[in-house]
Structure 1
Amino acid sequence: MDVKSAFLNGKLEEEVYVAQPPGFEDPKHPDKFFGLNKALYGLKQAPRAWYDTLQEFLMKKGLKPGSLDPTIFTKSYDAHTPTLGLWYPKGSTFDLIGYSDSDYAGDHVDRKSTSGTCHFLGRSLVCWSSKKQNCVSLSTAEAEYIAAGSCCAQLLWMKQTLKNYGVNMKNLPLYCDNESAIKIAHNPVQHSKTKHIQIRHHFLRDHVWKGDISIEHVRTEE
């Protein structure tokens, strides 16, 4: 399939009109407009028309869009190829685990901290990130708490993605080396030392209480 042509020639569901471009004017009808039958590059409707065309093509080939992310298409064909597959030893694990860490005021200009996260599926590292936080933390516990929240968000996204493949996981472990940050995640009470933390960072606490995430302590050297 020619993806570029699909983007330029996607079918439009609505009526779209454009002015006569320079060099293509009709001298007999200078005030008339062109009606588009297909999408043009730069048209606001072009991405949607392109996606509809691509989706139609892929679904004809037996692929199905994901329930969480409709841009991810999957196809199950193992029934037709019984001699091919993935083999997992009985003693191996298929756990999804997250680790979070943070420095404190590592940027000497704006004094913001940097979050570090990594995620393992089984024994393989499949996702990692290092990103400067968007606010200045007043303590190492706050910086670690924010980093753990970012790790939690990625874990939940990966959990939902795996669900599309028939893998269901509950109470995902998230390891953090700061006991104060762990206590903040477990404590539903807002006390004076945490009232200033932005609400969006308490995303972690909510999922800990729901049982989606189990935040646990790990030694720094581990």
Structure 2
Amino acid sequence: MTTVRLLLRLVAANNWEMYQMDVNNAFLHGDLEEEVYMKIPPGYRHTHPNKVCRLRKSLYGLKQAPRCWFKKLSDSLLRFGFVQSYDDYSLFSYTRKVIELRVLVYVDDLLICGNHSHMLQKFKEYLGKCFSMKDLGKLKYFLGFEVSRGPEGIFVSQRKYALDIVTDTGNLGCQPAATPLEQNHKLAISTSHVLTDPKKYRRLMGRLIYLVHTRPELSYSVHVLSQFMKKHRQDHWQAALRVVRFIKGSLGQGIMFSSSADLSLTVFCDSDWSSCPLTRRSLSAFVVMLGDSPISWKTKKQKTVSHSSAEAEYRSMAAALREVKWLRKLLKGLDVEQKSTRFFCDSKAAIHIASNVVFHERTKHIENDFNAVRDAVQAGLIKLHHIRTQDQVADILIKALGRAQFRNLLSKLGIHDPHAPT
């Protein structure tokens, strides 16, 4: 999904055309390389009841079917002249002089974009000869994402999906909540009674996890509530319903991928030291912006216990660095060169540790992360900047905030709601 968001941002910045195509019965196109046999179908008249059929083509339900289909599709794209990305195998690029085409594959759905109308049409005709295809026209609805385009850029939301969540939980007539979670919640140490049927809770959490693809402000709430899938209590269910009530008040909220020509990477990373009352592990979070649009974000509990807040911030910085290195390689394959990436962190101690080539008592527990971040700073890959905690965008991904601060950080994150009253 990060690649989808990144590609949408590039399309908006370059003012490219973007289309969607769908393959009919995709898995039936794959060619089997293994010997696979099946029983003769019921009702088929035959004189040899002990014989079986050997499959020549893949069928739905075979473990090999997805792999066979993707190989058949990728071979067709390579024959046309596309080059497969090593950083995301579902991304293909075609470059000839001034002509640039991009194809992003998600099973049987294809996003096709480029700067040359005639070449795009020629490529679509080529795909139509190779497979049974449906041309869905300009991109409007993809994997539950509603896409609209204007002079300001491309706006992506999951309004219908969010409305289905609110409707299915019976909260269509509820009072909307101002924030996803209450401040200073004690969900991890709740002693309320355990609910016996976990299916309803798990279903809701699974749907909220998918909603996070266009709603980064829900990342922290979903991270916290997802920890109780196995054994959830009444308080956890009420907290999940509060998230639904927040969604009810912002159904059309989504991301605006602006048409700005600025394609530089900016990172906001933060941590909440020793935030888990059960394990005392810290929480890491980062947001990566391409220009002024968010394309990648994550909230995750750290693997080990940090001995200080500086150490927790440093581990968060190292996690964000790994994402940035991958994004820089992906952008380079798309002919978008990056200069030094700006890192914004609200811990001066972590910045000093990364900037000074000294191994001392405060860094002996984080040697691997220390070396990675330090080397990136020395190589000029990243530039560290201090930011006030009040302006730290990633703060919305690591804790439950009050209404005023939540709204303030949400406005800086590039999130818009065109349906909100003015």
Q: Is the 8 A contact 1:15 1:36 kept in 2?
A: no
Distance 1:97 1:18 in 2: 53
Match of 1:147 in 2: 316
Distance 2:40 2:359 in 1: 62
1:96 lines up with 2:116 in the alignment: no
The verdict on how the C-alpha distance between 1:121 and 1:110 changes in structure 2, with shifts beyond 3 A counting, is: same
Cα deviation for residue 98 of structure 1 reads 0.4
Q: Is the 8 A contact 1:6 1:54 kept in 2?
A: no
Match of 1:54 in 2: 73
The verdict on how the C-alpha distance between 1:36 and 1:88 changes in structure 2, with shifts beyond 3 A counting, is: closer
Match of 1:138 in 2: 307
Cα deviation for residue 16 of structure 1 reads 1.6
Match of 1:70 in 2: 89
1:11 lines up with 2:1 in the alignment: no
Cα deviation for residue 127 of structure 1 reads 2.5
Match of 2:351 in 1: 182
TM-score, structure 1 normalization: 0.77
- Paired-residue identity, %: 36
Cα deviation for residue 57 of structure 1 reads 4.6
More helix as a share of residues: 2
Cα deviation for residue 143 of structure 1 reads 0.6
Distance 2:355 2:62 in 1: 49
Please provide the CA RMSD for this pair: 3.4
Q: Provide the secondary structure at the position in 1 that maps to 2:30.
A: coil
Distance 1:21 1:161 in 2: 47
The verdict on how the C-alpha distance between 1:207 and 1:44 changes in structure 2, with shifts beyond 3 A counting, is: farther
Q: How many equivalent pairs are there? A: 215
1:38 lines up with 2:27 in the alignment: no
Q: Is the 8 A contact 1:115 1:130 kept in 2?
A: yes
Out of 333, 339, 353, the residue aligned to residue 170 of structure 1 is 339
Q: Which has the higher contact order (CA 8 A, sep 6+)?
A: 2
TM-score, structure 2 normalization: 0.44
Distance 1:34 1:202 in 2: 58
For residues 123-145 of structure 1, the C-alpha deviation after alignment (integer angstroms, 9 at most, x for no partner) is: 22332222222221111011101
Cα deviation for residue 191 of structure 1 reads 2.7
Match of 2:379 in 1: 210
Distance 1:148 1:66 in 2: 26
Cα deviation for residue 118 of structure 1 reads 1.1
Distance 2:377 2:287 in 1: 19
Q: Is the 8 A contact 1:111 1:136 kept in 2?
A: yes
Q: Is the 8 A contact 1:101 1:177 kept in 2?
A: yes
Distance 2:280 2:34 in 1: 53
Query: One-letter code of the match for 1:35?
Result: R
Q: Is the 8 A contact 2:321 2:373 kept in 1?
A: yes
For residues 139-184 of structure 1, the C-alpha deviation after alignment (integer angstroms, 9 at most, x for no partner) is: 1011101111111122222222222321101321111111221233
The verdict on how the C-alpha distance between 1:9 and 1:176 changes in structure 2, with shifts beyond 3 A counting, is: same
Distance 1:45 1:203 in 2: 39
Q: 201-210 or 122-131: which moved more?
A: 201-210
Q: Provide the secondary structure at the position in 2 that maps to 1:221.
A: helix
Cα deviation for residue 45 of structure 1 reads 2.9
Query: One-letter code of the match for 1:11?
Result: D
Distance 1:157 1:196 in 2: 25
Q: Is the 8 A contact 1:17 1:33 kept in 2?
A: no
Distance 1:153 1:80 in 2: 36
Query: One-letter code of the match for 2:301?
Result: K
Q: Is the 8 A contact 2:331 2:337 kept in 1?
A: yes
Which consecutive unaligned segments of at least 5 residues does structure 2 have? Answer: 1-20, 94-100, 103-113, 119-150, 154-257, 392-422
Query: One-letter code of the match for 1:17?
Result: V
